[in-house]
């Protein structure tokens, strides 16, 4: 971590995530949310502050899980989620979407594929950004 | 009265000005903040997976240390600490078996007897001090200062740990009125500031800061009041950087509620404005709430 | 030439008027500015009389009656108290300084005190200066309109009864609550009158233009427009680029 | 409970449209009705509505006739501003304690003039106008309220006594107390209605904080002409006319966040109505509706939705928004939504309307608790699909929104249904508590010159304040034929009416003129009084010198008086030549003919038999049951085949019901009360006499012509699937793809078959329960599992059934694959092609009308609508009647519906039929047409003009069937030779009115 390799930091390597059975069974232990309860009303997407940067919209992520399309684990969206709970509070089906996003992240992290690599940060930033940001980031993005 | 204070990491480093102003305010109101003897990282951010009890250990230890000191309440300044501690407190109260596992696992510490509650400093001002008494203590009312309250999400969501109405919070608006300033209501006050995304998604956080601050500028607010050090960094620092991304955009100052409270109570001190990307001093002087001190930047 | 305030005094026959005579007999000297009207009881003085006085150019009005409990007609002075309370409120609302009205009690034996009361009142009005008729005239007229409304005179008339003996259901009312209801009616009627005069000044008028003229927010003005339309005093003539335009209706011109 | 001590009266709790309909049915079938309402006037929520879908009729215009009928029906006793305290006893004999709350106004004396409210110093929020405007402490709920009487809101009133001082009718009663009374009834109908969801609970939409966010019921008041804004569409923040209005659907429905796991059924359609009506009021308005599934499933609703989209340009956006933001300065609103292809858009709106759902009322729940009525867990009254109008307690019935969210047609059907059950229970006690006033014999006025009495009313100051009434009396005294004239303060008050009778008899008057308010509400009252004085009711004429004279010329007294003089003179001119009109009575064959032996036919037959009247049930096939024979389990878990078996058993064993199977109707002759029908049963013909006809011919499943149906036996319909599963088909491990809207909601058939979504979900659940490892996909356009059926949709998703939406322009494809069938479609969220390897494809075909409807229609002279179903008299308020008197409609012949709804409508048809056959006499209209044969040239013009076929040519002369004649007078105006005249409105009478209006001296 000491040397700051300007060129060294590149986007995280393409991950080869292995998921044997159905996604919904993988999620079983991690969160007991009734993903199938979703009727694609779009409220979560309409209320998410980070939708512009997301490759999959929030309801598309849920749809991937329902249709068991494993590519959802490679999407940028699950890492962009800042766990602000706006979607969970507003979902008419009372599904805690924030927990589902965390569970999806955990599936990847528990195959010890880390999302974050701190090379890209300048020293100055390491000093000025509040520690709570780093602690949160490590907890969320590193297995 | 004596308040058992849980600082958390950031309050000791980049948010020292929040701590100092809070200490000064507490004292001026006749209370003393006593830092916990034993405290460790609050375990931000709360783990949301069902099977992960491990990450609740850190916050639980803090609750146990408070019980050891014989106190029934922890006061926090940082929104994220308050949220994380409350979520763990809520979970162990809801599920005794988790508490039992955690208690059995902790061999050095005593068992958590659920006698401690977690209170954010804003809640303390509202519930224990009360706006009326606060208003009486204000000697230097912030007359003519238009302040936009910004709550972020950690104080209001998830609903089990909210300190106010999640859709229409009033706690900061009441505080601003008590300080004699004008409230600039706004629809962005409960939208996320970008939180820890600021590390890897700098532009996104700058855009968030610009959206929130532009609204304030259009309503000719003078400054944004908030309570969380990470929100402060994202809107203040990333907002300043947004000036490079969007020409013609200028970031308005951001302040902690404790700094404004200290000024209103007429306390002496420099409140650590140096740590702000946009120094609020010129504005405060122009509004006549701060004495024109020579040589200030 | 120094400003000499024009004053009017209503003196109740049994106490204040007698007090004034006693002052005369005792050669008590007091300024000559006040013209006196003798009434049998201070309770006879109608708010409209006071407002009419201001409308016609008086700078100050005094109503002097018996001390509470001394009234020859038992409760006349209590009625005066309530009627003048209404007058103070109306004056405050329409923008005539309530200090220009004095309500006081002078007994038949207080000749000396009568002189002092008159002298102090004259000085008070001299300080306040003359009442500009052009400005106060229309204000007093609006005040009279309010003070002559059925429901307001009924509330004032029944106030004592309802507070001391109880209303039609037999329960005694809390005075402060009754005062709020009275004040609420005065404010509403005044605001409606303001709005009517704003429309009169520039008809047809839109809600935003009225709001600006009467310095009220558009939501409140709109709420009053609904009341006025239901009462048949205002009519929505048409809607021009999304702004309804209102005209006065059934206005019997003074 | 023996027949003797059954009480012939019914208590109806709740005076909304449901309470009014059941009360009228019961009162017209010979039962005493106590109609109780907790508010000062009846009318319920419908009174608050502006227009109603799908016809856009003004709600008050279609409800007012029922309001007035209920208000003055001799068998209905109105108990307003009252609550039920307790109910003792059992079915047939209940003792009900009632608390009549102190109203502080004497209902008999108050005439509703409103002088008191004008001056009352208290401001209170008008609940009727949903807080958009204010009312006083003394208030009238709405201008057309019945009874038209004010009430004092005791909490708000400060007791200052001003209203008593102002009231001319001396109707104020300050020492009014609550009264406890007890009534004895045979059965009880609960229809207390519902409450709108309080949208303040959805903080994210800002109702209660943002002035420009209103609820849908508030918007109804905004649209209403009697509403606070006089029907101008304005917004509260600045009174401006909004340009962009957003409707937000599912506020408080389909939302676990506020404990509502059901759909409120009506919000989609009423939102479309509000958008369309707003657009009609203000063409510049741009309405947008944010929705999840567009649930326009009722009769005529789908084409209503299409017209809104195509003709009115209402924009439909399929996204449930997360919040509404407001700019605190301008109060404009911003809504962020996700488009169907995943883009996030932020858009500004001037105003937002929250389509709030239904919740149960708190005091209805308390009442049910006190009466021991079971509620379901959502607080609505628990009912069974076998009989949706019965509660858990014997003798207590339910209708309307108290048993669940429903729209007005279904409410009216359930109301008549509840009336059928309530009266069926006590049919032996019919006519026991209903007294027909003994009337003196009618005075014979033939040959006696006119002796006219003129009664002119002050109506407090409503007339007297603006018209010189005493002057009018002197003027009338001078006119020819007038022998008596007087004025009184309130002519319609009880005491004046008593004096009326004496005055007529003392002065031997044989014509009566009353100059007062509108004949529409008061003519029957005065006619009944003069009939009690021995005069024929039609020797009477009114002059409307209030609603159309004093009230509308307030600022010009002289012209008002002059106009009043003209109106009185006109009435007097006609009075001299009016004639007594005999009340024609027809005798009724007290029996019914039911066409169609399906579920609806059988239920209505049983209901009529329960009332004690014989029924002939005509069934084309050999056995009863109709399409229900192919249904094995219902969406609410009812044992369908078991219920069908024991219903058929009841029909066969009922002595009053004669079943004619394998029978065809050859001819139906006659009219109401006197029908003769020829029925052919395997070659021999029999003739049946009966009084009424109930059409219950049902409907059939159409044959799909797409998705390889008929070409591959693995493509079946939902009914086939039910049959297969009943025979235990093994579907474990199989993949089943269901396709909805096959033939429905298409260009050539623009209606929704209503039941297929729930049917598909029901069958999908059945498959999953039997074979958990089966994969079930449902391809749909809008999931229309409305009402409490939403929970089925929940359970299906929870069981892992996958729902994929398709649009009309991208229909799924079915092709033969290697071993299974390949169903191709596109995922609506991912916008990605999907292929399903299906072992079985199940289609939901459209439900189409019986082919034979056209012939039955011709025989009964009743019309069909453009979709081929029968056209009822009025889609909203007479859903089971035909415009031709005496013919009624039930079941799927009306439109596709569920088993429970068909049963409710069957009972309703029976109740409506019994209003006619429950008495042997039928009083026809008096002002019917008559033909002077000497002048009639038999040209047939009159017959062509009559919409009711009440006048026809018989051997070259026009003949009127008085029973069918509704008294409109069109034939008289069409006749070329003056042969046809309308009694009471003869040409000479109308001409006399014209002459009276013009010349000063008659």
Residue C2 placed within a domain: no
B166 contact D CB<8A: yes
* Count of structural domains, chain B: 2
The reported pLDDT for the residue numbered D532 is 87
B291 inside domain: no
Instruction: Check residue C165 and report its DSSP letter.
Output: I
- Give the separation between CA B61 and CA B36, rounded to whole angstroms: 12
Q: Mutate one of D325, D332, D354 to test the B interface: name it (highest B CB count within 10 A).
A: D325
Q: Both A95 and A136 in a single domain? A: no
Is A90 within the bounds of a domain? yes
Distance CA D721, CA D631 (A): 10
pLDDT per residue as tens digits for the range B183-229: 998 889 999 999 999 988 889 999 999 999 998 988 889 999 999 99
Of C136, C158, C187, at which residue does a domain stop? C136
Q: What is the CATH number for C76?
A: 3.40.50
Element (H, E) at B32: strand B32-35
**Taking the CB of residue D934, how many other CB atoms lie within 10 A of it?**
8
Q: Residue B156's domain is classified under what CATH number?
A: 3.40.50.11810
CA dist D40 and D59 (Å) reads 20
Q: Closest partner residue to A47 among D322, D803, D828, by Cβ?
A: D322
Q: Are residues C54 and C171 in the same domain?
A: no
Q: Which residue of A has its CA nearest to B275?
A: A128
For residues A75 and A89, membership in a common domain is answered with yes
Q: Which residues fall within 8 angstroms of residue D2, CB to CB, at 6 or more apart?
A: none
**Domains identified in chain C, total number:** 2
Residues C104 and C51 in one domain: yes
Task: Answer whether B256's CB lies under 8 Å from B227's CB.
Answer: yes
Residue C82 included in any domain: yes
Q: Classify residue B270: in a domain, yes or no.
A: yes
Identify whether residues A103 and A128 lie together within a single domain: no
Which chain A positions have a beta carbon within 8 Å of B157's beta carbon? 84-86, 88-89
Q: Examine the domain organization and report whether B272 and B243 are in the same domain.
A: yes
In D545-628, the DSSP E strands lie at 585-587, 592-595, 615-618
Provide the terminal-to-terminal Cα distance of chain C, rounded to the nearest Å.
37
In degrees, to the nearest 5, what angle opens at C-alpha D935 toward C-alphas D930 and D938?
85
A36 and A67 assigned to the same domain: yes
Strands D929-931 and D980-982, bridge-based pairing: antiparallel
- Contact (CB, 8 A) for D695 and D597: no
Instruction: Report the CATH number that the domain containing residue B89 is assigned in CATH.
Output: 1.20.1050.140
Indicate if B141 and B113 belong to the same structural domain: no
What's the gap in Å between the CA of A90 and the closest CA on chain B? Answer: 10
With an 8 Å Cβ cutoff, are D121 and C158 in contact? no
Per CB-CB distance under 8 Å, the chain D contacts of B165 are 203
Rounded to whole angstroms, the Cα distance separating D777 from B172 reads: 50
Same domain, C87 and C12: yes
Contact D257, A44 (CB under 8 A): no
Contact C150 D162 (CB under 8 A): yes
Same domain for A126 and A67, yes or no, is no
Cis peptide before B158 (omega within 30 of 0): yes
Claim to verify: residue B243 and residue B167 sit in the same structural domain:
yes
The closest of D514, D395, D388 to D452, measured between CA atoms, is: D514
A44 and D802 within 8 Å at the Cβ level: the answer is no
CATH of the domain at C199: 1.10.10.10
Above pLDDT 70, what percent of chain A?
89
Polymer length of chain B: 297
Grouping H, G, I as helix, E, B as strand and the rest as coil, residue B295 is coil
Q: Which of B14, B44, B55 sits opposite A128 (nearest CB)?
A: B14
**C-alpha angle A33-A37-A38 in degrees, rounded to nearest 5:** 100
Kind and range of the H or E run holding B177: helix B171-178
DSSP D798-865: HTT-EEEE--GGG--EEEE-SSSEEEEEEETTTTEEEEEEESEEEEEEPEEE-TTHHHHHHHHT--B-
Q: Is residue B78 part of a domain?
A: yes
- What lies within 8 Å, CB to CB, of B271 at 6+ separation is B17, B20, B21, B259, B262, B263
Same domain, A28 and A97: yes
Q: Count of A–D CB contacts within 8 Å?
A: 83
- Other Cβ atoms less than 10 A from the Cβ of D973: the count is 13
| Number of compact structural domains in chain A | 2
| Residue where one domain finishes, among candidates B70, B100, B121 | B121
| Same domain as B272, residue B157 | yes
B75 and B151 in a single domain? The answer is no
Is the domain of A85 the same as that of A121? no
**Does residue C24 fall inside a structural domain?**
yes
- Residue D193 to chain A, least CA–CA distance (Å): 26
Residues of chain A in contact with residue B204, where contact means CB-CB under 8 angstroms, are 50, 52-53
Q: Which of B56, B90, B121 is the last residue of a domain?
A: B121
The answer to whether residue B295 is domain-embedded is no
Chains B and C physically touch (3 or more Cβ atom pairs below 8 Å): no
- Partners of C166 on chain D (C-beta within 8 Å) are 159
Mean pLDDT by 10 residues, chain D (1002 residues): 84 96 94 95 92 86 84 91 94 94 92 88 89 90 88 92 90 94 95 94 92 95 88 92 96 92 95 95 94 94 94 94 90 93 92 95 92 93 93 95 95 95 92 81 84 90 87 92 90 81 91 88 85 90 88 83 91 89 86 94 95 93 91 86 94 94 90 91 90 94 92 92 89 93 93 95 93 93 95 93 93 90 90 91 94 89 90 90 90 94 96 92 84 88 80 90 82 83 86 79 60
* D911 Cβ contact list (under 8 Å, min separation 6): D25, D29, D416, D417, D419, D420, D423, D607
Nearest to D653 by CA among D602, D611, D700: D602
Three-state secondary structure readout of D213-241? EEEHHHHHHHHCCCCCCCCCCCCCCCCCC
pLDDT score for A2: 37
Q: Do A136 and B195 touch (CB under 8 A)?
A: yes
Contacts of B187 in chain D (CB under 8 A): 325-327, 334
In the block, which residue shows the tokens 């010009």?
A: D556
Q: Give exposure, D816-832, as e/b (b: 16+ Cβ within 10 Å).
A: eeeebbbbebbbbbbee
Query: CA D295 → CA D271, D305, D396, D753, D904, distances in Å?
Result: 11, 10, 32, 12, 22
DSSP letter, residue D400: G
Q: Do residues C129 and C180 both lie within one domain? A: no
DSSP string, D111-159: ----HHHHH----EE-TTTTTSSEE-SEE-SSTT-BS---EE-TTT---
C-beta atoms of D204 and B167 within 8 A: yes
| Domain extent for B144 | 131-286
Spatial neighbors of D552 by CB under 8 A, at least 6 apart, are: none
pLDDT of residue A6: 43
- List of chain B residues whose C-beta atoms are within 8 Å of the C-beta of residue A120: 200
Given this model, what pLDDT does residue A9 score?
Answer: 52
The low-confidence residues of chain C, meaning pLDDT below 70, are 251-254
d(CA D93, CA D185): 6
- Restricting to D residues 195-234, those with a Cβ less than 8 Å away from any Cβ of C are 211, 228-230, 232, 234
Statement to judge: residues A86 and A129 lie in one domain:
no
Cβ–Cβ gap C167/D237 under 8 Å: no
Q: What is the pTM of this model?
A: 0.86
Q: Is residue A130 part of a domain?
A: yes
In chain A, how many H helices and how many E strands? 8, 0
Same domain (yes/no): C111, C13: yes
- In whole angstroms, give the CA distance from residue D614 to residue D634: 31
Collect all residues with Cβ–Cβ distance below 8 Å to D655 and sequence separation of at least 6: none
Query: Is D338–A51 a contact, with Cβ atoms under 8 angstroms apart?
Result: yes
Residues 6+ apart with CB under 8 A from B254: B223, B224, B226, B232, B235, B236, B239, B276, B278, B280
Is the domain of A51 the same as that of A78? Answer: yes
Residue A7 in domain: no
Sign of CA dihedral D603, D609, D613, D614: positive
Residue B4 tokens read as 């058992």
- Tell me if C142 is assigned to some domain: no
In 3D, which of D151, D145, D13, D10 has the Cα closest to residue D68?
D145
Q: Is D209 on the interface with B (CB under 8 A)?
A: yes
CA neighbours within 13 Å on the CB side: how many for D727? Answer: 7
Q: How many CA atoms lie within 13 A of D260 on its CB side?
A: 28
Interchain contact, D250 vs A40, CB within 8 Å:
no
Give the pLDDT of residue A10.
46
Structural domains for chain D: 1-99+180-194+360-433 (3.50.50.60), 102-177 (3.30.70.20), 197-358 (3.50.50.60), 452-575 (3.40.50), 591-698+850-922 (3.50.50.60), 702-846 (3.50.50.60), 928-982 (3.30.70.20)
What's the DSSP call for residue C241? T
Domain end call among B54, B89, B121: B121
User: Among partner residues C155, C177, C207, which is closest to D160 by beta-carbon distance?
Assistant: C155
Encoding tokens for residue D372? 């021991």
Tell me, yes or no, whether C223 lies in a domain: yes
* H-helix or E-strand spanning residue D658: strand D657-660
Cα separations in angstroms, D320 against D208, D361, D778: 20, 27, 22
| Number of residues assigned to chain A | 143
Full domain range(s) for residue A134: 116-143
Shared domain for C154 and C82, answered yes or no, is: no
C127/C222 same-domain check? no
For residue A32, the distance in angstroms to the closest alpha carbon of chain D comes to: 12
Q: Is D325 in CB contact (< 8 Å) with chain B?
A: yes
In a domain, A56, yes or no: yes
- C72 part of a folded domain: yes
DSSP string, D510-526: SEEEEEES-HHHHHHHH
* Beta bridge partners of residue C244, listed in sequence order: C239
Cβ–Cβ < 8 Å for D611, D918: yes
* Residue A126 resides in a domain: yes
Same domain assignment for residues C164 and C206: yes
Whether residue C122 is contained in a domain is answered as yes
- What is the C-alpha to C-alpha distance for residues B163 and B82, in angstroms, rounded to an integer? 10
What does the pLDDT average to over B44-63? 88
Across the interface, whether the CB atoms of B168 and D209 are under 8 A apart is answered yes
* pLDDT-derived band at A14, boundaries 50, 70, 90: low
d(CA C14, CA C17): 6
> Is residue B294 domain-resident?
no
Residues A45 and A82 grouped into a single domain: yes
Same domain, A136 and A79: no
Domain boundary among the residues C114, C136, C158 is at C136
Radius of gyration of chain D (CA): 31
- The nearest CA of chain C is from the CA of D108 a distance in Å of 21
Q: What is the pLDDT of residue A1?
A: 34
The first and second tokens of residue B35, run together, are 């830092």
Find residue D700's DSSP bridge partners: D848
Cβ within 8 Å, pair A106-B80: no
Helix (H, G, I), strand (E, B) or coil at B105: helix
- Whether residues A46 and D322 touch (CB distance < 8 A) is answered with yes
Nearest to A37 among D337, D794, D830 (CB): D794
Same domain, B218 and B117: no
Task: Identify all chain A residues contacting D783, using CB atoms and an 8 Å cutoff.
Answer: 39
Contact at CB, B50 and A135, closer than 8 angstroms: no
Range of the domain at C74: 7-136
Chains C and A lie in contact, requiring 3 or more CB pairs less than 8 Å apart? no
In this structure, are B135 and B112 located in the same domain? no
At residue C251, the pLDDT reads: 67
**Is 0.85 exceeded by the ipTM?**
no
Q: Give yes or no: residues B148 and B105 share one domain.
A: no
Contact between residue D104 and residue D173 where contact means Cβ atoms under 8 Å apart: yes
Q: Starting at the edge strand that comes first in sequence, how are the strands of the sheet with D775-780 ordered?
A: D715-717, D840-845, D735-742, D775-780, D802-805
Per the domain annotation, does A5 fall within a domain? no
Residues A120 and A107 occupy one common structural domain: no
- My answer on whether C47 and C69 are in the same domain is yes
The pLDDT of residue A8 is above 70: no
For D329, left (φ over 0), alpha (ψ -120 to 50), or beta?
alpha
């Amino acid at each position: 971590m000491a040397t700051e390799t300007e060129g060294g930091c590149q986007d995280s390597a393409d991950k080869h995530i292995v998921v044997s059975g159905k996604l919904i069974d993988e999620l079983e232990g991690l969160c007991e949310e009734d993903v199938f309860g979703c009727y694609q009303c779009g409220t979560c997407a309409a209320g998410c502050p980070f939708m512009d940067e997301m490759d999959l919209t929030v309801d598309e992520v849920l749809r991937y899980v329902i249709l068991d399309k494993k590519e959802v684990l490679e999407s940028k969206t699950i890492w962009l989620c800042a766990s602000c709970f706006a979607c969970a509070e507003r979902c008419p089906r009372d599904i805690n979407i924030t927990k589902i996003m965390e569970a999806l992240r955990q599936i990847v992290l528990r195959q010890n594929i880390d999302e974050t690599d701190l090379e890209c940060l300048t020293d100055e930033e390491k000093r000025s950004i509040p520690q709570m940001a780093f602690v949160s980031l490590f907890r969320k993005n590193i297995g | 009265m004596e308040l058992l204070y849980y600082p958390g990491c950031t309050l000791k480093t980049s948010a020292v000005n929040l701590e100092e102003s809070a200490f000064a305010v507490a004292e001026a109101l006749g209370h003393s903040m006593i830092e916990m003897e034993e405290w460790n990282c609050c375990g931000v951010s709360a783990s949301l997976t069902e099977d992960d009890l491990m990450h609740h250990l850190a916050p639980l230890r803090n609750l146990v240390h408070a019980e050891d000191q014989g106190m029934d309440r922890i006061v926090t300044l940082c929104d994220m600490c308050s949220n994380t501690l409350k979520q763990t407190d809520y979970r162990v109260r809801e599920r005794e078996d988790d508490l039992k596992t955690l208690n059995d696992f902790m061999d050095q510490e005593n068992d958590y007897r659920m006698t401690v509650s977690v209170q954010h400093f804003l809640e303390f001002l509202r519930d224990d001090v009360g706006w009326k008494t606060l208003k009486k203590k204000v000697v230097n009312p912030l007359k003519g200062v238009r302040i936009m309250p910004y709550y972020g999400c950690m104080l209001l969501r998830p609903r089990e740990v909210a300190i106010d109405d999640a859709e229409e919070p009033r706690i900061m608006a009441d505080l601003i009125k008590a300080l004699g300033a004008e409230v600039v209501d706004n629809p962005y006050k409960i939208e996320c500031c970008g939180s820890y995304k600021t590390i890897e998604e700098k532009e996104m956080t700058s855009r968030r800061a610009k959206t929130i601050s532009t609204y304030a500028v259009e309503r000719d607010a003078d400054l944004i009041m908030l309570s969380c050090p990470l929100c402060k960094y994202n809107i203040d620092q990333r907002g300043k950087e947004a000036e490079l991304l969007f020409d013609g955009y200028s970031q308005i100052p951001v302040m902690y509620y404790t700094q404004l409270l200290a000024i209103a109570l007429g306390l002496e001190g420099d409140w650590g404005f140096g740590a702000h990307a946009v120094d609020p001093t010129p504005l405060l002087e122009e509004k006549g709430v701060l004495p024109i001190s020579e040589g200030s930047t | 030439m120094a400003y000499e305030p024009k004053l009017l005094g209503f003196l109740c026959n049994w106490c204040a008027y007698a007090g004034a005579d006693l002052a005369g007999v005792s050669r008590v000297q007091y300024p000559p500015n006040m013209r006196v009207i003798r009434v049998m009881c201070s309770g006879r003085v109608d708010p409209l009389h006071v407002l009419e006085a201001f409308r016609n150019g008086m700078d100050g009005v005094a109503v002097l009656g018996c001390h509470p409990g001394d009234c020859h007609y038992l409760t006349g002075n209590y009625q005066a108290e309530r009627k003048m309370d209404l007058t103070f409120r109306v004056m405050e609302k329409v923008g005539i300084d309530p200090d220009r009205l004095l309500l006081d009690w002078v007994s038949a034996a207080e000749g000396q005190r009568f002189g002092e009361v008159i002298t102090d009142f004259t000085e008070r009005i001299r300080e306040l200066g003359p009442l500009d008729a052009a400005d106060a005239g229309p204000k007093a007229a609006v005040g009279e309109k309010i003070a002559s409304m059925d429901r307001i005179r009924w509330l004032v008339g029944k106030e004592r009864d309802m507070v001391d003996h109880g209303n039609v259901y037999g329960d005694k009312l809390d005075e402060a609550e009754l005062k709020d209801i009275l004040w609420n009616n005065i404010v509403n009627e005044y605001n409606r009158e303001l709005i009517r005069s704003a429309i009169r000044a520039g008809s047809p008028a839109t809600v935003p233009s009225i709001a600006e003229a009467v310095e009220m927010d558009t939501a409140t003005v709109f709420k009053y427009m609904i009341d006025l339309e239901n009462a048949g005093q205002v009519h929505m003539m048409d809607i021009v680029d999304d702004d309804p335009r209102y005209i006065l209706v059934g206005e019997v011109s003074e | 409970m023996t027949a003797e001590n059954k009480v012939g009266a019914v208590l109806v709790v709740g005076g909304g449209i449901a309470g009014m309909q059941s009360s009228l049915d019961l009162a017209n079938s010979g039962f005493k009705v106590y109609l109780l309402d907790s508010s000062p006037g009846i009318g319920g929520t419908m009174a608050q509505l502006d227009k109603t879908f799908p016809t856009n009729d003004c709600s008050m215009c279609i409800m007012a006739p029922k309001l007035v009928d209920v208000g003055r029906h001799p068998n209905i006793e109105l108990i307003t501003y009252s609550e039920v305290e307790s109910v003792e006893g059992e079915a047939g004999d209940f003792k009900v304690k009632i608390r009549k709350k102190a109203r502080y106004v004497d209902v008999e004396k108050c005439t509703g003039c409103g002088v008191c409210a004008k001056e009352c110093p208290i401001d209170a929020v008008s609940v009727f106008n949903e807080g958009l405007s204010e009312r006083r402490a003394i208030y009238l709920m709405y201008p057309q309220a019945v009874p038209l009487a004010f009430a004092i809101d005791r909490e708000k009133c400060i007791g200052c006594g001003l209203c008593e001082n102002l009231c001319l009718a001396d109707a104020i009663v300050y020492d009014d107390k609550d009264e406890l009374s007890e009534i004895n009834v045979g059965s009880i109908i609960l229809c207390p209605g519902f409450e709108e969801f309080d949208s303040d609970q959805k903080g994210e939409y800002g109702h209660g904080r943002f002035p420009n966010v209103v609820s849908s019921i508030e918007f109804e008041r905004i649209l209403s002409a009697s509403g606070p804004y006089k029907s101008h569409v304005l917004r509260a923040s600045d009174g401006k006319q909004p340009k962009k209005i957003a409707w937000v659907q599912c506020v408080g429905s389909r939302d676990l966040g506020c404990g509502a796991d059901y759909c409120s059924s009506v919000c989609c359609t009423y939102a479309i109505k509000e958008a369309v009506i707003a657009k009609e009021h203000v063409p510049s308005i741009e309405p947008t509706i944010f929705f999840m599934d567009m649930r326009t499933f009722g009769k005529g609703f789908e084409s209503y939705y299409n017209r809104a989209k195509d003709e009115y340009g209402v924009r439909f956006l399929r996204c449930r928004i997360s919040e509404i933001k407001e700019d605190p300065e301008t109060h404009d609103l911003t809504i962020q939504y996700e488009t169907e292809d995943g883009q996030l858009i932020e858009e500004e709106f001037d105003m937002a309307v929250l389509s709030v759902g239904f919740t149960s009322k708190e005091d209805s729940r308390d009442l049910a608790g006190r009466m021991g009525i079971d509620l379901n867990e959502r607080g609505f009254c628990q009912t069974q699909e076998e009989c949706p109008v019965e509660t858990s307690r014997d003798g207590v019935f339910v209708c309307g929104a108290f048993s669940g969210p429903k729209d007005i047609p279904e409410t009216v059907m359930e109301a008549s249904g509840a009336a059928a059950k309530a009266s069926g229970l006590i049919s032996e006690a019919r006519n026991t508590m209903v007294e027909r006033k003994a009337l003196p014999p009618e005075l014979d006025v033939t040959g006696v010159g006119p002796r006219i009495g003129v009664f002119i009313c002050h109506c407090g100051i409503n007339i007297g304040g603006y018209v010189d009434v005493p002057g009018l009396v002197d003027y009338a005294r001078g006119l020819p034929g007038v022998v008596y004239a007087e004025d009184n303060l309130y002519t319609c008050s009880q005491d004046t009416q008593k004096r009326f009778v004496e005055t007529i008899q003392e002065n031997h008057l044989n014509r009566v003129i009353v100059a007062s308010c509108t004949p529409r509400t008061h003519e029957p009252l005065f006619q009944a009084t003069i009939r009690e004085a021995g005069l024929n009711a039609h020797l009477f004429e009114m002059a409307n010198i209030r609603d159309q004279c004093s009230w509308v010329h307030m600022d010009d007294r002289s012209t008002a008086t002059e106009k009043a003089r003209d109106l009185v003179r006109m009435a007097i001119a006609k009075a001299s030549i009016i004639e007594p009109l005999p009340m024609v009575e027809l005798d009724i064959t007290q029996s019914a003919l039911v066409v169609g032996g399906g579920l609806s036919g059988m239920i209505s037959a049983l209901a009529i038999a329960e009332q004690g009247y014989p029924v002939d049930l005509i069934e084309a096939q050999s056995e009863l049951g109709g399409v229900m024979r192919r249904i094995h389990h219902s969406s609410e878990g009812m044992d369908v085949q078991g219920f069908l078996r024991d219903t058929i058993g009841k029909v066969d064993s009922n002595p009053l019901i004669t079943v004619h199977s394998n029978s065809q109707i050859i001819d139906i002759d006659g009219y109401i009360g006197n029908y003769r029908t020829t029925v052919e049963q395997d070659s021999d013909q029999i003739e049946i006499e009966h009084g009424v006809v109930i059409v219950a011919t049902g409907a059939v499943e159409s044959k799909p012509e797409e998705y390889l149906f008929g070409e591959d036996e693995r493509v079946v319909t939902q009914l086939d699937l039910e049959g297969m599963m009943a025979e235990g088909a093994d579907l474990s491990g199989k993949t089943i793809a269901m396709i909805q809207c096959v033939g429905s909601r298409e260009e050539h058939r623009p209606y929704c078959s209503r039941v297929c979504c729930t049917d598909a979900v029901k069958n999908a659940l059945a498959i999953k329960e039997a074979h958990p490892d089966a994969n079930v996909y449902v391809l749909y356009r809008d999931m229309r599992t409305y009402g409490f059926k939403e929970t089925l949709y929940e359970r299906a998703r929870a069981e892992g059934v996958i729902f994929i939406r398709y649009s009309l322009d991208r229909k799924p494809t079915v092709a033969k694959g290697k071993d299974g069938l390949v169903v191709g479609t596109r995922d609506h969220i991912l916008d990605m092609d999907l292929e399903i390897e299906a072992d079985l494809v199940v289609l939901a075909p459209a439900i189409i009308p019986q082919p034979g409807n056209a012939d039955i229609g011709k025989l009964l002279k009743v019309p069909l609508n453009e979709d081929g179903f029968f056209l009822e008299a009025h889609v909203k308020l007479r859903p089971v009647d035909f415009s031709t008197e005496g013919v009624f409609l039930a079941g799927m012949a009306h439109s596709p519906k569920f088993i429970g709804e068909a049963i409710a409508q069957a009972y309703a048809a029976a109740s409506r039929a019994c209003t006619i056959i429950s008495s042997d006499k039928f009083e026809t209209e008096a002002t019917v047409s008559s033909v002077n044969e000497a002048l009639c040239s038999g040209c047939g013009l009159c017959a062509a003009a009559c919409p009711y076929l009440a006048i026809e040519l018989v051997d070259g002369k026009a003949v009127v069937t008085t029973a069918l004649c509704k008294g409109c007078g069109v034939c008289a105006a069409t006749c070329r030779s003056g042969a046809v005249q309308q009694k009471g409105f003869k040409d000479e009478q109308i001409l006399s009115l014209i002459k009276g209006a013009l010349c000063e001296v008659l």
